[in-house]
Chains A and B, each alone.
Chain A
Amino acid sequence: MPSPSPTRRVTLLALLTALSVACAPRAEPPPTPPSRPAVQPRATDTPPTAPTPEADRDLLVARGAHLVEAAQCNRCHDGLPSGPAPRDKHCVHCHQQIHDRTFEQGDVATQDRWRAHIIHLRAVPSLADLGERLRPDWIAGYLRAPVDLRPRLDATMPRFAFTDADTDAIAAFLTRDASPTGPAPTDGDPANGLRLLLLRRCTICHAYSGADLPPINTTGPVPCRPDQCAAAFKLAPDLRHTRDRFRRDRLDAWLRDPAAMHPGTLMPRLTLTDAERHDLVAALLRSPLTREPEAAPIPTRLPVLTRAVGWDEVERRVFKTVCWHCHADPELADGDGGPGNTGGLGFPGRGVSFATYDATLAGRRNDDGRRQSLFDPTPDGTPRLVAVLMARHAEVAGQPVDGLRGMPLGLPPMSLEQIQLVETWIAQGRPR
């Protein structure tokens, strides 16, 4: 992979340094291109030179770096130049350490109990080496409208509040080290490539939604060890996105030796002839997609319960299962009440806390700084808290709701029974 030229490297480093010094994370808007001072030309001056495309790209990359920092992508993803977030703020490392028995807080019994509870955010893809693999236009689009790229991973990319210019900058940053684009292979037999996907057991981990895979009953060896396969299974992308997502000129090299392009990847190295690789590339890039992804129906809310529902039950079964992660008490956590309370992941602090009954009823902070109840009705009369929980169901069904960000952010929706509990509790006057 070619490195940027020394001049570009110095320019980029200077821009990144200046931005990191000048811009406090979260608190300030991302940098915009500086306005150039108006200089009155003198007769002896040479004409001003226009900014070069390289300089514009460097500025875009620097802006992307700032946005990635502000959005705290390193709380989940590894592979960023800034390194991972501190363990106490790193959702995935914390969960992994508890599972690996390397977490140093809590006694053995406590940790064992935690271990049994941790389900989400134990595997997240690395953002290293993206430029060699992914197309920036796809990354930008994915950040604008996340799709279910990894159907077996229960967490998804959150819906952020990025503008199109933001996502372009982030994509430019994440692909900053990309080598020049080359020609994509045009030979290869897509039909044989589909057969190979099955025969080489690729479909153990990868879905290929929309493609008509041949009816082959495969019994060949699995290309990974059980522990590798379990992790790869969760992270494996749906291959229907490969034609838009992957660099077409690099797909052949990826299949030849994935670890050479992305060290540490869970994608195994397959023993393939050149012709077989070309067939696989053709299958990934050119096989007809005969079906659109099935739109999952948005479930209907369950009716409110007739029995009494109190705070203890709704806290234990809903608020303290997931909500508390991002809506905690800052006075008990070094001032960090989580992204949904004191701010983070690129979002301003909304002051929402589920730490206690009183805190839950204290509402959320609007853009104007004024508090608003979590139970205020939305236009259709649904309490706002219930509406955001249902909005997550809509997001997962591919139908995000304008003006409502589904909660829990990027995680599987609450069950309808959990939402029913919340709605019942609200309808009964939020008894303690």
Chain B
Amino acid sequence: MRRTTLAVLLALALVPFASTAAAPTAEACMNGVRVQTDNPTQLLVKAEKNLQSGHLDAAYKGATRVVDSLNHQKLSAKDRGALDKARRLQAVAVIRAEGKLKTRNIGVDAAAALLRSRYDHASDEATTIAEHAEALALTPSGRNDALALLADLEARDLLASPYAWRTLARLRAASGDTDGATRALERCRKSTRTASLCAVDPPDAT
């Protein structure tokens, strides 16, 4: 009986320490399980990381592998989410590469149309707006709108991507707003560890 009592007291004594131990990464929850057990999800996460760090060909290839792996005739809810994300990653990679990916790709117009469609269907999603603005900025007729959209996101402190900051810097530089372009470039450099992403080549005058 005494041993049982000791065991209970020892077990109870350890409970508070177990509760206050440093919390590690939530690997086993929701996205965490998928990221570690589901191949398309792993591909998408990797593709997104590549996209954010400027490895656009790798991002496009990874997203394309997911698109190709899905049975488009019988899409589950999970597949639909994965397909939407993969298509978006493809489109953004094409826009950011200005259509100059080494791999065969969907083309700038198709990519811009997809991002436009996402923008039209989203209410006020910062990432969607910024990606649409990046696409708009590729055409002279879209640059004013792109500048307005990105400046609004900047004013609301909702701009994240270095590509969006770079686009904003280029558009401002082209419109003569040197100070604004400098500010945007500073934020661009904060938002990436790939400094070369933040080079400013003003958009063509064409």
Chain A residues with CB under 8 Å of chain B are 88, 94-95, 98, 105-106, 110, 113-114, 116-119, 152, 154, 204, 219, 221-222, 224-226, 229-230, 233-234, 316, 320-322, 324-325, 328-336, 338, 351, 355-363, 365, 369-373, 375-376, 412, 429-432
A331, B79: Cα distance in complex, Å: 9
A430 and B124 within 8 A (CB): no
Contact of A431 (CB < 8 Å), options: B44, B48, B190: B190
A14, B88: Cα distance in complex, Å: 46
B161 and A358 within 8 A (CB): yes
Interface window among B20-28, B101-109, B140-148:
B20-28
Most buried by A among B15, B28, B32: B28
Neighbouring A residues of B29 by C-beta, 8 Å: 94, 324-325, 328
Contact of B126 (CB < 8 Å), options: A98, A324, A332, A363: A363
A324 and B26 within 8 A (CB): yes
Chain A, interface SS category: loop
Neighbouring A residues of B41 by C-beta, 8 Å: 332
Contact of B27 (CB < 8 Å), options: A114, A335, A356: A114
Contact of B191 (CB < 8 Å), options: A222, A225, A432: A432
Is residue B182 within 8 Å, beta carbon to beta carbon, of the partner chain? no
A359-B127, A369-B123 given; A335·B81 CB < 8 A: yes
Instruction: Looking at the assembled complex, report how far the CB atom of B102 sits from the nearest CB atom of chain A, in whole angstroms.
Output: 24
A234 and B15 within 8 A (CB): yes
Neighbouring A residues of B50 by C-beta, 8 Å: none
Neighbouring A residues of B26 by C-beta, 8 Å: 117, 320-322, 324-325
Chain A: which residue is nearest B19 at the CB level? A154
B85 and A332 within 8 A (CB): yes
Interface residues of B in 17-49 (CB under 8 A from A): 18-21, 23-37, 41, 44-45, 48
B23 and A332 within 8 A (CB): no
Is residue B205 within 8 Å, beta carbon to beta carbon, of the partner chain? no
Instruction: Looking at the assembled complex, report how far the CB atom of A162 sits from the nearest CB atom of chain B, in whole angstroms.
Output: 25
Instruction: Looking at the assembled complex, report how far the CB atom of B83 sits from the nearest CB atom of chain A, in whole angstroms.
Output: 9
A106 and B33 within 8 A (CB): yes
A222-B5, A338-B30 given; A332·B44 CB < 8 A: yes
Neighbouring B residues of A336 by C-beta, 8 Å: 30
Most buried by A among B15, B16, B187: B15
Contact of B15 (CB < 8 Å), options: A105, A152, A331, A412: A152
Query: What is the total number of residues of chain B having a CB less than 8 Å from a CB of chain A?
Result: 58
B27 and A117 within 8 A (CB): yes
Neighbouring A residues of B201 by C-beta, 8 Å: none
Chain B: which residue is nearest A223 at the CB level? B8
* A-B contact sample (8 more), CB < 8 A, given A98-B28, A334-B81, A358-B52: A105-B37, A106-B37, A119-B21, A332-B81, A334-B78, A356-B52, A361-B126, A432-B193
Is residue B58 within 8 Å, beta carbon to beta carbon, of the partner chain? no
A105-B37, A204-B12, A324-B32 given; A331·B82 CB < 8 A: yes
Neighbouring B residues of A329 by C-beta, 8 Å: 31, 85
B23 and A334 within 8 A (CB): no
B23 and A355 within 8 A (CB): no
Is residue B98 within 8 Å, beta carbon to beta carbon, of the partner chain? no
Per-residue CB proximity of B107-127 to A under 8 Å, as 1/0? 000000000000000011111
A316-B25, A321-B23, A357-B160 given; A332·B36 CB < 8 A: no
Is residue B7 within 8 Å, beta carbon to beta carbon, of the partner chain? yes
A114 and B28 within 8 A (CB): yes
28 A-B residue pairings within 8 Å (CB atoms): A98-B28, A106-B28, A110-B36, A117-B26, A117-B27, A152-B16, A204-B8, A224-B8, A230-B8, A230-B11, A230-B15, A321-B26, A322-B26, A328-B29, A328-B30, A329-B31, A331-B81, A331-B82, A332-B35, A333-B81, A357-B160, A358-B160, A362-B127, A373-B156, A375-B157, A429-B187, A429-B190, A432-B193
Neighbouring A residues of B9 by C-beta, 8 Å: 204, 222
A363, B126: Cα distance in complex, Å: 8
